[in-house]
Amino acid sequence: MSDTFLSPEEMAELTGVRTGRRGKSREELQIEWLRTSGIPFWTNARGRPVVARVAIEGRPAAEQPKKKWQPKVLALG
């Protein structure tokens, strides 16, 4: 088990989706749920959603990755 990402079992528990239905795969339904819930995720090469554990644990901002510095001139666009 990875400490960085949720396991497939944890993903099923989070989303409430364990199997596909209505012509959609489990992964497609999990992705839909994650999008509507506003939880950031990536899709791996197999089409499975990957959620970083820090995205749902509510860690303080100091522990989360910081945004890359960008000059204000470039941020205005």
Tell me the pLDDT tens digit for each residue of 3-43.
889 999 999 999 999 999 999 999 999 999 999 999 999 99
Q: Distance (Å, rounded) from C-alpha 31 to C-alpha 47? A: 9
Q: What is the pTM of this model?
A: 0.70
Q: Quick one: pLDDT at residue 75?
A: 65
At 26, the amino acid letter reads R
